[in-house]
Amino acid sequence: MARITKLQKAIADAHLDSMTANMYDDPILDGSLDSLKVALCDLKTIRYMMEGIVTRNVSITSQLMTNHMGYTSEAYKKGVYKGFKDILNKLNIK
């Protein structure tokens, strides 16, 4: 299994920072994969993408700790990194 690349980690970190500050860019996309790829490569953050990744890859316990105590655990970050790595590899963003 390939490791997460620097660009993929930067995209995930931008989303983690946005989640912490509760401020997402939410760029206007035209519905094409190309516009999504450009927005992500420009480190624009998308709320629904982050929420989907967290729902699928982060344990309920880690989600509760983050949402109610404001603490982002290493398990939470690891799940987010895994989710972004999987999605970005499928989008061929490496």
Tens of pLDDT, residues 72-84: 999 999 999 999 9
pTM of this structure: 0.93
- Judge whether residue 1 has pLDDT over 70: no
- Judge whether residue 58 has pLDDT over 80: yes
Give the pLDDT mean for 80-91: 97
- Judge whether residue 8 has pLDDT over 90: yes
Instruction: Calculate the alpha carbon distances from 43 to 21, 22, 70 in Å.
Output: 15, 16, 23
**Do residues 16 and 71 make contact, with C-beta atoms less than 8 angstroms apart?**
no
